[in-house]
Structure 1
Protein backbone atom coordinates (compact mmCIF):
# COMPACT_ATOMS: atom_id res chain seq x y z
CA UNK A 1 0.00 0.00 0.00
CA UNK A 2 1.45 3.36 -0.95
CA UNK A 3 1.84 6.21 1.47
CA UNK A 4 -0.72 8.29 -0.43
CA UNK A 5 -3.47 5.64 -0.30
CA UNK A 6 -2.95 5.08 3.43
CA UNK A 7 -3.42 8.82 4.06
CA UNK A 8 -6.37 9.13 1.69
CA UNK A 9 -8.54 6.77 3.73
CA UNK A 10 -8.63 8.91 6.94
CA UNK A 11 -8.88 12.09 4.86
CA UNK A 12 -11.93 10.68 3.13
CA UNK A 13 -13.77 10.67 6.47
CA UNK A 14 -12.28 13.91 7.75
CA UNK A 15 -13.86 16.12 5.09
CA UNK A 16 -17.47 15.06 5.80
CA UNK A 17 -16.89 15.42 9.54
CA UNK A 18 -15.56 18.95 9.08
CA UNK A 19 -18.44 19.83 6.81
CA UNK A 20 -21.00 18.58 9.31
CA UNK A 21 -19.32 20.52 12.11
CA UNK A 22 -19.14 23.62 9.96
CA UNK A 23 -22.77 23.42 8.94
CA UNK A 24 -23.81 22.67 12.51
CA UNK A 25 -22.19 25.92 13.59
CA UNK A 26 -24.52 27.80 11.27
CA UNK A 27 -27.62 26.80 13.22
CA UNK A 28 -29.62 29.70 14.56
CA UNK A 29 -32.57 30.04 16.86
CA UNK A 30 -34.42 32.37 14.52
CA UNK A 31 -37.82 31.91 12.97
CA UNK A 32 -36.53 30.33 9.79
CA UNK A 33 -35.63 26.66 9.79
CA UNK A 34 -32.17 27.00 8.30
CA UNK A 35 -30.47 23.77 9.27
CA UNK A 36 -32.51 21.08 7.59
CA UNK A 37 -34.28 19.08 10.23
CA UNK A 38 -32.47 15.88 10.78
CA UNK A 39 -31.30 16.81 14.26
CA UNK A 40 -33.31 17.41 17.39
CA UNK A 41 -33.19 20.94 18.71
CA UNK A 42 -34.07 22.03 22.19
CA UNK A 43 -36.53 24.89 22.19
CA UNK A 44 -36.21 27.76 24.63
CA UNK A 45 -39.96 28.08 25.11
CA UNK A 46 -41.63 25.74 27.55
CA UNK A 47 -44.37 23.35 26.54
CA UNK A 48 -46.97 25.46 28.32
CA UNK A 49 -46.10 28.40 26.03
CA UNK A 50 -45.98 26.24 22.90
CA UNK A 51 -49.43 24.67 23.38
CA UNK A 52 -51.46 27.85 22.75
CA UNK A 53 -49.36 28.49 19.62
CA UNK A 54 -50.08 24.96 18.39
CA UNK A 55 -53.79 25.40 19.09
CA UNK A 56 -53.84 28.67 17.15
CA UNK A 57 -51.91 27.14 14.24
CA UNK A 58 -54.19 24.11 14.20
CA UNK A 59 -57.26 26.36 14.02
CA UNK A 60 -55.69 28.49 11.26
CA UNK A 61 -54.87 25.32 9.32
CA UNK A 62 -58.41 23.93 9.75
CA UNK A 63 -59.87 27.23 8.58
CA UNK A 64 -57.55 27.47 5.53
CA UNK A 65 -56.07 24.05 4.70
CA UNK A 66 -55.28 25.18 1.15
CA UNK A 67 -53.08 28.09 2.27
CA UNK A 68 -49.44 27.04 1.67
CA UNK A 69 -48.05 29.47 4.26
CA UNK A 70 -50.37 28.20 6.99
CA UNK A 71 -49.65 24.56 6.10
CA UNK A 72 -45.90 25.23 6.16
CA UNK A 73 -46.07 26.95 9.56
CA UNK A 74 -48.28 24.22 11.01
CA UNK A 75 -46.09 21.45 9.59
CA UNK A 76 -42.97 23.08 11.04
CA UNK A 77 -44.63 23.43 14.44
CA UNK A 78 -45.69 19.79 14.34
CA UNK A 79 -42.11 18.74 13.54
CA UNK A 80 -40.73 20.86 16.36
CA UNK A 81 -43.12 19.26 18.85
CA UNK A 82 -42.19 15.74 17.76
CA UNK A 83 -45.38 15.01 15.80
CA UNK A 84 -43.42 13.92 12.77
CA UNK A 85 -45.96 11.66 11.07
CA UNK A 86 -48.66 14.34 11.34
CA UNK A 87 -46.24 16.94 9.93
CA UNK A 88 -45.63 14.67 6.93
CA UNK A 89 -49.38 14.26 6.39
CA UNK A 90 -50.09 18.01 6.60
CA UNK A 91 -47.25 18.92 4.25
CA UNK A 92 -48.05 16.10 1.84
CA UNK A 93 -51.60 17.44 1.44
CA UNK A 94 -50.24 20.94 0.90
CA UNK A 95 -47.78 19.72 -1.75
CA UNK A 96 -50.56 17.86 -3.56
CA UNK A 97 -52.42 21.16 -3.85
CA UNK A 98 -49.30 23.20 -4.73
CA UNK A 99 -46.83 20.83 -6.44
CA UNK A 100 -44.52 23.58 -7.67
CA UNK A 101 -44.22 25.51 -4.39
CA UNK A 102 -40.50 25.22 -3.55
CA UNK A 103 -40.91 26.23 0.11
CA UNK A 104 -43.57 23.55 0.63
CA UNK A 105 -41.44 20.94 -1.13
CA UNK A 106 -38.47 21.83 1.08
CA UNK A 107 -40.58 21.62 4.25
CA UNK A 108 -42.12 18.34 3.14
CA UNK A 109 -38.70 16.90 2.34
CA UNK A 110 -37.38 17.88 5.77
CA UNK A 111 -40.44 16.36 7.44
CA UNK A 112 -39.93 13.12 5.51
CA UNK A 113 -36.30 13.02 6.64
CA UNK A 114 -37.34 13.65 10.24
CA UNK A 115 -39.73 10.74 9.92
CA UNK A 116 -37.02 8.40 8.59
CA UNK A 117 -38.19 8.33 4.95
CA UNK A 118 -34.75 9.24 3.62
CA UNK A 119 -35.04 8.18 -0.04
CA UNK A 120 -38.39 9.91 -0.45
CA UNK A 121 -36.98 12.96 1.37
CA UNK A 122 -34.01 13.09 -1.00
CA UNK A 123 -36.31 12.89 -4.02
CA UNK A 124 -38.66 15.61 -2.77
CA UNK A 125 -35.78 17.88 -1.77
CA UNK A 126 -34.42 17.45 -5.29
CA UNK A 127 -37.68 18.91 -6.61
CA UNK A 128 -37.38 21.82 -4.16
CA UNK A 129 -33.90 22.80 -5.32
CA UNK A 130 -33.07 24.38 -8.64
CA UNK A 131 -29.61 25.31 -9.95
CA UNK A 132 -30.97 28.75 -10.86
CA UNK A 133 -31.81 29.42 -7.19
CA UNK A 134 -29.43 27.29 -5.13
CA UNK A 135 -30.25 26.87 -1.44
CA UNK A 136 -27.52 25.54 0.83
CA UNK A 137 -30.12 24.39 3.39
CA UNK A 138 -31.72 22.05 0.87
CA UNK A 139 -28.36 20.78 -0.37
CA UNK A 140 -27.29 20.10 3.21
CA UNK A 141 -30.53 18.25 3.97
CA UNK A 142 -30.07 16.18 0.79
CA UNK A 143 -26.55 15.31 1.91
CA UNK A 144 -27.80 14.25 5.31
CA UNK A 145 -30.48 12.06 3.72
CA UNK A 146 -27.86 10.43 1.52
CA UNK A 147 -25.66 9.82 4.56
CA UNK A 148 -28.56 8.06 6.26
CA UNK A 149 -28.96 5.92 3.16
CA UNK A 150 -25.27 4.94 3.34
CA UNK A 151 -24.39 6.88 0.19
CA UNK A 152 -21.61 8.80 1.94
CA UNK A 153 -19.43 9.69 -1.03
CA UNK A 154 -22.41 11.14 -2.88
CA UNK A 155 -23.43 13.00 0.29
CA UNK A 156 -19.99 14.65 0.42
CA UNK A 157 -20.69 16.26 -2.94
CA UNK A 158 -23.90 17.79 -1.61
CA UNK A 159 -22.16 19.06 1.52
CA UNK A 160 -19.42 20.62 -0.60
CA UNK A 161 -22.01 22.31 -2.82
CA UNK A 162 -23.83 23.57 0.27
CA UNK A 163 -20.68 25.26 1.50
Structure 2
Protein backbone atom coordinates (compact mmCIF):
# COMPACT_ATOMS: atom_id res chain seq x y z
CA UNK A 1 0.00 0.00 0.00
CA UNK A 2 1.33 3.43 -0.89
CA UNK A 3 1.89 6.23 1.67
CA UNK A 4 -0.01 9.82 2.52
CA UNK A 5 3.08 11.35 1.37
CA UNK A 6 3.06 8.78 -1.88
CA UNK A 7 -0.66 9.30 -2.47
CA UNK A 8 -0.31 13.02 -2.02
CA UNK A 9 1.88 13.62 -5.05
CA UNK A 10 0.35 10.74 -7.00
CA UNK A 11 -3.15 12.14 -6.56
CA UNK A 12 -2.57 15.82 -5.86
CA UNK A 13 0.29 17.44 -7.67
CA UNK A 14 -0.59 19.45 -10.71
CA UNK A 15 1.50 21.39 -13.16
CA UNK A 16 1.64 25.09 -13.63
CA UNK A 17 -1.25 26.61 -15.44
CA UNK A 18 0.08 28.43 -18.45
CA UNK A 19 -2.03 31.51 -18.97
CA UNK A 20 0.43 33.93 -20.60
CA UNK A 21 0.35 33.47 -24.35
CA UNK A 22 3.71 33.76 -26.13
CA UNK A 23 3.98 36.72 -28.47
CA UNK A 24 5.66 34.86 -31.35
CA UNK A 25 2.95 33.23 -33.53
CA UNK A 26 5.25 30.37 -34.51
CA UNK A 27 5.97 29.70 -30.84
CA UNK A 28 2.28 29.85 -30.00
CA UNK A 29 1.53 27.42 -32.83
CA UNK A 30 4.15 24.96 -31.61
CA UNK A 31 2.74 25.14 -28.08
CA UNK A 32 -0.77 24.44 -29.35
CA UNK A 33 0.44 21.40 -31.27
CA UNK A 34 2.44 20.23 -28.25
CA UNK A 35 -0.52 20.55 -25.91
CA UNK A 36 -2.79 18.64 -28.30
CA UNK A 37 -0.21 15.90 -28.81
CA UNK A 38 0.28 15.51 -25.07
CA UNK A 39 -3.46 15.30 -24.45
CA UNK A 40 -3.56 12.45 -26.99
CA UNK A 41 -0.69 10.60 -25.31
CA UNK A 42 1.88 11.44 -28.00
CA UNK A 43 4.54 12.57 -25.56
CA UNK A 44 7.47 12.29 -27.99
CA UNK A 45 5.75 14.68 -30.39
CA UNK A 46 4.77 16.97 -27.53
CA UNK A 47 8.31 17.18 -26.15
CA UNK A 48 9.69 17.85 -29.62
CA UNK A 49 7.29 20.75 -30.12
CA UNK A 50 7.74 22.15 -26.60
CA UNK A 51 11.51 21.96 -27.12
CA UNK A 52 11.29 23.73 -30.47
CA UNK A 53 9.18 26.49 -28.95
CA UNK A 54 11.65 26.88 -26.08
CA UNK A 55 14.60 27.03 -28.47
CA UNK A 56 12.86 29.67 -30.59
CA UNK A 57 11.95 31.84 -27.59
CA UNK A 58 14.73 31.33 -25.00
CA UNK A 59 13.98 34.53 -23.08
CA UNK A 60 10.29 33.82 -22.55
CA UNK A 61 9.90 32.42 -19.01
CA UNK A 62 6.42 31.06 -19.70
CA UNK A 63 7.60 29.02 -22.69
CA UNK A 64 10.61 27.69 -20.77
CA UNK A 65 8.34 26.77 -17.85
CA UNK A 66 5.99 24.87 -20.16
CA UNK A 67 8.86 22.89 -21.68
CA UNK A 68 10.23 22.08 -18.22
CA UNK A 69 6.77 21.07 -17.01
CA UNK A 70 6.36 18.68 -19.93
CA UNK A 71 9.77 17.17 -19.20
CA UNK A 72 8.69 16.64 -15.58
CA UNK A 73 5.47 14.95 -16.67
CA UNK A 74 7.48 12.62 -18.89
CA UNK A 75 9.75 11.73 -15.96
CA UNK A 76 12.82 13.53 -17.33
CA UNK A 77 13.65 15.40 -14.14
CA UNK A 78 17.34 15.96 -14.93
CA UNK A 79 16.64 17.76 -18.21
CA UNK A 80 13.80 19.71 -16.61
CA UNK A 81 16.25 20.89 -13.94
CA UNK A 82 18.71 21.95 -16.67
CA UNK A 83 16.08 23.87 -18.60
CA UNK A 84 14.88 25.63 -15.46
CA UNK A 85 18.40 26.45 -14.26
CA UNK A 86 19.24 28.13 -17.57
CA UNK A 87 15.92 29.97 -17.67
CA UNK A 88 16.18 31.17 -14.06
CA UNK A 89 19.68 32.50 -14.78
CA UNK A 90 18.18 34.64 -17.55
CA UNK A 91 15.02 35.62 -15.64
CA UNK A 92 15.65 35.09 -11.91
CA UNK A 93 12.37 36.61 -10.71
CA UNK A 94 10.00 35.19 -13.32
CA UNK A 95 6.95 33.78 -11.56
CA UNK A 96 6.23 30.93 -14.03
CA UNK A 97 9.77 29.65 -13.56
CA UNK A 98 9.59 29.84 -9.76
CA UNK A 99 6.28 27.93 -9.74
CA UNK A 100 7.62 25.21 -12.04
CA UNK A 101 10.86 24.97 -10.07
CA UNK A 102 8.80 24.71 -6.89
CA UNK A 103 6.91 21.76 -8.35
CA UNK A 104 10.17 20.11 -9.33
CA UNK A 105 11.41 20.56 -5.76
CA UNK A 106 8.20 18.91 -4.49
CA UNK A 107 8.82 15.91 -6.72
CA UNK A 108 12.38 15.70 -5.42
CA UNK A 109 11.14 15.67 -1.82
CA UNK A 110 12.35 19.17 -0.97
CA UNK A 111 9.05 20.55 0.33
CA UNK A 112 10.70 23.32 2.36
CA UNK A 113 12.57 24.66 -0.68
CA UNK A 114 9.38 24.44 -2.73
CA UNK A 115 7.46 26.37 -0.08
CA UNK A 116 10.05 29.16 -0.20
CA UNK A 117 9.67 29.44 -3.98
CA UNK A 118 5.87 29.55 -3.85
CA UNK A 119 6.00 32.16 -1.10
CA UNK A 120 8.31 34.31 -3.25
CA UNK A 121 5.70 34.26 -5.99
CA UNK A 122 2.89 35.06 -3.56
CA UNK A 123 4.80 37.99 -2.08
CA UNK A 124 4.39 39.84 -5.38
CA UNK A 125 1.24 38.11 -6.66
CA UNK A 126 -0.89 36.95 -3.70
CA UNK A 127 -3.71 35.69 -5.95
CA UNK A 128 -1.51 33.38 -8.05
CA UNK A 129 -3.55 30.15 -8.04
CA UNK A 130 -0.66 27.89 -9.08
CA UNK A 131 1.54 29.20 -6.28
CA UNK A 132 -1.28 28.88 -3.73
CA UNK A 133 -1.98 25.32 -4.87
CA UNK A 134 1.72 24.44 -4.78
CA UNK A 135 2.04 26.02 -1.34
CA UNK A 136 -0.77 23.78 -0.13
CA UNK A 137 0.91 20.64 -1.44
CA UNK A 138 4.22 21.64 0.18
CA UNK A 139 2.52 22.26 3.53
CA UNK A 140 0.64 18.96 3.33
CA UNK A 141 3.91 17.14 2.69
CA UNK A 142 5.30 18.86 5.79
CA UNK A 143 2.29 17.71 7.85
CA UNK A 144 0.92 21.25 8.20
CA UNK A 145 -2.56 20.38 6.96
CA UNK A 146 -4.64 23.31 8.35
CA UNK A 147 -2.24 25.79 6.72
CA UNK A 148 -2.41 23.78 3.49
CA UNK A 149 -6.21 23.94 3.53
CA UNK A 150 -6.06 27.70 3.98
CA UNK A 151 -3.88 27.94 0.86
CA UNK A 152 -6.27 25.79 -1.18
CA UNK A 153 -9.27 27.85 -0.04
CA UNK A 154 -7.49 31.04 -1.02
CA UNK A 155 -6.88 29.51 -4.44
CA UNK A 156 -10.54 28.51 -4.70
CA UNK A 157 -11.60 32.08 -3.91
CA UNK A 158 -9.70 33.17 -7.03
CA UNK A 159 -10.60 30.21 -9.28
CA UNK A 160 -13.54 28.24 -7.84
CA UNK A 161 -13.71 25.88 -10.84
CA UNK A 162 -10.08 24.68 -10.73
CA UNK A 163 -10.54 20.94 -10.26
CA UNK A 164 -6.97 20.28 -9.12
CA UNK A 165 -7.29 22.72 -6.21
CA UNK A 166 -10.52 21.17 -4.95
CA UNK A 167 -8.99 17.71 -5.31
CA UNK A 168 -5.99 18.76 -3.27
CA UNK A 169 -8.22 20.26 -0.59
CA UNK A 170 -10.15 16.98 -0.33
CA UNK A 171 -6.95 14.98 -0.03
CA UNK A 172 -5.61 17.40 2.59
CA UNK A 173 -8.75 16.92 4.67
CA UNK A 174 -8.26 13.15 4.41
CA UNK A 175 -4.68 13.46 5.58
CA UNK A 176 -5.88 15.70 8.41
CA UNK A 177 -8.20 12.96 9.68
CA UNK A 178 -11.38 14.74 8.55
CA UNK A 179 -12.91 12.20 6.14
CA UNK A 180 -16.51 13.48 6.32
CA UNK A 181 -15.41 16.93 5.20
CA UNK A 182 -13.18 15.38 2.54
CA UNK A 183 -16.08 13.35 1.19
CA UNK A 184 -18.26 16.48 1.01
CA UNK A 185 -15.59 18.18 -1.12
CA UNK A 186 -14.78 15.19 -3.35
CA UNK A 187 -18.25 13.78 -4.04
CA UNK A 188 -19.50 16.60 -6.31
CA UNK A 189 -16.03 16.82 -7.83
CA UNK A 190 -16.04 13.14 -8.81
CA UNK A 191 -19.36 13.63 -10.62
CA UNK A 192 -17.91 16.22 -12.97
CA UNK A 193 -17.49 15.00 -16.54
CA UNK A 194 -13.94 16.38 -16.61
CA UNK A 195 -12.85 14.74 -13.34
CA UNK A 196 -9.55 12.86 -13.82
CA UNK A 197 -8.88 9.43 -12.35
CA UNK A 198 -7.02 10.80 -9.32
CA UNK A 199 -10.20 12.60 -8.22
CA UNK A 200 -12.22 9.38 -8.49
CA UNK A 201 -9.54 7.57 -6.48
CA UNK A 202 -9.58 10.20 -3.74
CA UNK A 203 -13.37 10.07 -3.62
CA UNK A 204 -13.23 6.29 -3.24
CA UNK A 205 -10.76 6.65 -0.39
CA UNK A 206 -13.04 9.18 1.30
CA UNK A 207 -15.91 6.67 1.07
CA UNK A 208 -13.76 4.04 2.74
CA UNK A 209 -12.61 6.50 5.38
CA UNK A 210 -16.22 7.34 6.29
CA UNK A 211 -17.03 3.64 6.64
CA UNK A 212 -18.88 3.14 3.33
CA UNK A 213 -16.67 0.23 2.31
CA UNK A 214 -19.05 -1.26 -0.26
CA UNK A 215 -19.39 2.03 -2.13
CA UNK A 216 -15.63 2.56 -1.93
CA UNK A 217 -14.97 -0.87 -3.41
CA UNK A 218 -17.42 -0.10 -6.21
CA UNK A 219 -15.58 3.15 -7.03
CA UNK A 220 -12.02 1.86 -6.61
CA UNK A 221 -12.52 -1.61 -8.10
CA UNK A 222 -9.39 -3.72 -8.44
CA UNK A 223 -7.21 -0.69 -7.75
CA UNK A 224 -8.57 -0.34 -4.23
CA UNK A 225 -6.70 -3.25 -2.65
CA UNK A 226 -7.69 -3.66 0.98
CA UNK A 227 -10.35 -0.94 1.00
CA UNK A 228 -11.33 -1.45 4.64
CA UNK A 229 -7.72 -1.10 5.83
CA UNK A 230 -7.23 1.94 3.62
CA UNK A 231 -10.26 3.65 5.11
CA UNK A 232 -9.19 2.77 8.63
CA UNK A 233 -5.75 4.28 8.03
CA UNK A 234 -7.33 7.65 7.34
CA UNK A 235 -9.86 7.42 10.15
CA UNK A 236 -7.00 6.96 12.60
CA UNK A 237 -4.86 9.52 10.74
CA UNK A 238 -1.98 7.08 10.17
CA UNK A 239 0.45 8.14 7.44
CA UNK A 240 0.30 5.14 5.14
CA UNK A 241 0.69 6.52 1.67
CA UNK A 242 4.19 7.27 0.13
CA UNK A 243 4.75 10.21 -2.16
CA UNK A 244 5.17 9.47 -5.86
CA UNK A 245 5.10 11.97 -8.71
CA UNK A 246 1.68 12.57 -10.18
CA UNK A 247 0.92 13.38 -13.79
CA UNK A 248 1.46 17.04 -13.14
CA UNK A 249 -1.62 18.14 -15.04
CA UNK A 250 -3.93 20.71 -13.50
| TM-score grouping bracket, smaller chain normalisation | 0.5 to 0.7
Q: Which residue is equivalent to 1:40?
A: none
TM-score (norm 2): 0.45
SS in 2 for 1:61: helix
Aligned CA-pair RMSD: 3.2
Question: Cα distance, 1:97 vs. partner?
Answer: 2.5
Cα 1:162–1:137, aligned 2, differ >3 Å: closer, same or farther?
Answer: farther
Q: 1:68 aligns with which of 84, 108, 129?
A: 129
Q: Which residue is equivalent to 2:175?
A: 114
Q: Which runs of 5+ in 1 are unaligned?
A: 1-20, 38-42
Q: Which runs of 5+ in 2 are unaligned?
A: 14-105, 225-250
Question: Cα distance, 1:92 vs. partner?
Answer: 1.4
Q: Which residue is equivalent to 2:242?
A: none
Cα 1:67–1:150, aligned 2, differ >3 Å: closer, same or farther?
Answer: same
Q: 1:83 aligns with which of 130, 138, 144?
A: 144
**1:16-74: per-residue Cα shift (whole Å, max 9, x none)?**
xxxxx5xx4xx979xx922469xxxxx9957xx54333222222233323121111111
TM-score (norm 1): 0.65
1:150 to 2:126 alignment: no
1:33 to 2:9 alignment: yes
Cα 1:64–1:133, aligned 2, differ >3 Å: closer, same or farther?
Answer: same
Distance in 2, matches of 1:57 and 1:151, equals 37
The number of aligned residues is 131
Question: Cα distance, 1:105 vs. partner?
Answer: 1.0
Question: Cα distance, 1:102 vs. partner?
Answer: 0.9
Distance in 2, matches of 1:141 and 1:61, equals 28
Of structures 1 and 2, the one scoring higher in RCO (CA 8 A, sep 6+) is: 2
